[in-house]
Amino acid sequence: MMPRDECLKILARHHTDQIVIPVYQAAFEWRTIKPQALTYLGVGAMGQASSHGLGMALGRPDKRVIVIDGDGSLLMNLGSLVTIAEANPPNLVHFVCQNNTYEANGGHPIPGASRISFAGFARAAGIESVHEFDDLADFERRIGSVLQQRGPVFVVLKVVAGAHYPQDWSVVHSDTLREEFRAVLARA
């Protein structure tokens, strides 16, 4: 298992001008690790990160879109994997941080945590480029090539909580940040 924030720091080193859609705890971490205007904060719509990412990828085929989802969140919208596979956006990379809990709702265990495979869900949905990481050194070694693959790309990160990051809900729900995102996206 890998500390989620360490995974995000590695991802941040490979990030250039891609649109990033992080949810819940990953949103707080990403905003601290890599504050930038092309971050669409999908907080408050549990289960919708994959759908937001698909819409963004289809609406802006000229931009790479990176979704940083949670396992509990994705469980609420598994059908989106089939829709993503059918739409086949070449510019979408979907990360799922699997810690086997609904972290945003108090750390309750997700159902079937010992039996389910998110990589298996993605493959069964028809996504061809599927990766799974549970070793930080391996993730760091391979992330560059994974990010270059034609999408849709689905990546499972087996994680544990890392360092503590401030959880300022007024920031992630900020109208100012949303307006800043829209303005930068229009110019990008």
> What is the tens place of the pLDDT at every residue in 6-19?
999 999 999 999 99
> What is the tens place of the pLDDT at every residue in 100-110?
887 766 667 78
What average pLDDT does range 157-164 have in this prediction? 86
What is the rounded CA–CA span in Å between residue 6 and residue 29?
10
Q: Given pLDDT bands bounded at 50, 70 and 90, which one contains residue 44?
A: low
Residue 174 reports pLDDT greater than 80: no
Which residue range forms the structural domain that includes residue 162?
A: 2-187
What is the rounded CA–CA span in Å between residue 168 and residue 181?
18
24: left (phi over 0), alpha (psi -120 to 50) or beta: left
pLDDT at 97: 95
What is the rounded CA–CA span in Å between residue 182 and residue 22?
16
User: Contact 74/122 with Cβ under 8 angstroms?
Assistant: no
Please give the DSSP secondary-structure letter assigned to residue 152.
Answer: P
How many structural domains compose the chain? Answer: 1
The residue among 111 and 151 whose pLDDT is bigger is 151
User: Contact 65/18 with Cβ under 8 angstroms?
Assistant: yes
Residues ≥6 apart with Cβ < 8 Å to 156: 95, 96, 98, 118, 119, 122, 130, 131, 132, 133
pLDDT at 178: 82
| pTM for this predicted structure | 0.92
pLDDT at 162: 75
Question: Which of 101-105, 137-141, 178-182 has the lowest average pLDDT?
Answer: 101-105
What is the rounded CA–CA span in Å between residue 153 and residue 88?
10
Q: Given pLDDT bands bounded at 50, 70 and 90, which one contains residue 50?
A: very high
What CATH number is given to the structural domain containing 80?
3.40.50.970
Residue 164 reports pLDDT greater than 80: no
- Comparing CA positions, the residue from 129, 150, 131 lying closest to residue 142 is 131
pLDDT at 27: 86
% of the chain exceeding 70 in pLDDT? 94
- Please give the structure tokens belonging to residue 145: 């090539």
What average pLDDT does range 60-65 have in this prediction? 96
User: Contact 76/46 with Cβ under 8 angstroms?
Assistant: yes
Beta bridge partners of 21: 67
